[in-house]
Amino acid sequence: MIRPILTAACLALTLVGAAPAQPSPDHLIVAPGAILWGPAPPSLPPGARSALLYGDPAKPELFVMRLRFPKGYRVAPHIHPLPEVVTVISGRGLLGFGRKADGAQTHRLTPGTFMVTPANAPHYARFEEDTVLQLSTTGPWSITYVDPADDPRNARR
C-alpha cells in the first residue's frame, strides 16, 4: 500500500518539475509585428522613427529602443552622457568617430553589427539604405551635438 503511494508521489513531483515555466509578471516578449513605431525623439533630425521596447528613456533606468532611419539620413557629430549598446537589425550605413563628419574614422554597419559607444565619445552616422538599430542604455537619454547649429531642436524653435 505504501509503495503505490510513494510511486504516485514521486511521479507527481517529477511531472511538476517538468511543467513548462510560466513567464513572470516582469517577463516581456515583443513580436516584430507588435512593435509600435512613432516619431523619433526631437533631438534627431526629422524623418527617423522610433519604437520604445522597454523602460523609460526619461528615467534613470535601463531602456531599449529601436530607431529606423531612411536611406540618406545623417546624424551630425554628437555625444551621449552614458554608454550606448547598439545592434544593427537591418540595413546599411556608416558610423564615424570624431568631432567632424569627415569619414576618416568610419566603420561599416551591416545587419548583426554590434557596437558600444562610450560616454561622451563624439560620433556621427550616415545611412546608405533604410536601417533599423536597436539601442540599449540607461536614461535619462540625451544627445548633445558638437556644433549646436546641427541640433534639430534649435531649428524647430
Q: Is 136 domain-assigned?
A: yes
Q: Is 61 domain-assigned?
A: yes
* Residues 18-60: tens digit of each pLDDT: 334 444 567 889 888 899 999 999 999 999 999 999 999 999 9
* Residues 88-103: tens digit of each pLDDT: 999 999 999 999 998 7
Q: Is 2 domain-assigned?
A: no
pTM listed for this prediction? 0.80
Q: Is 17 domain-assigned?
A: no
Which domain CATH number covers 118? Answer: 2.60.120.10
Number of domains, the chain: 1
Give the domain range for residue 64.
25-155
Q: Is 76 domain-assigned?
A: yes
Q: Is 10 domain-assigned?
A: no
Nearest 10 degrees: Cα torsion 31, 111, 122, 46: -60
**Residue 148 CB contacts under 8 Å (≥ 6 apart), including other chains:** 154
% of the chain exceeding 70 in pLDDT: 83
Q: Is 143 domain-assigned?
A: yes
Q: Is 14 domain-assigned?
A: no
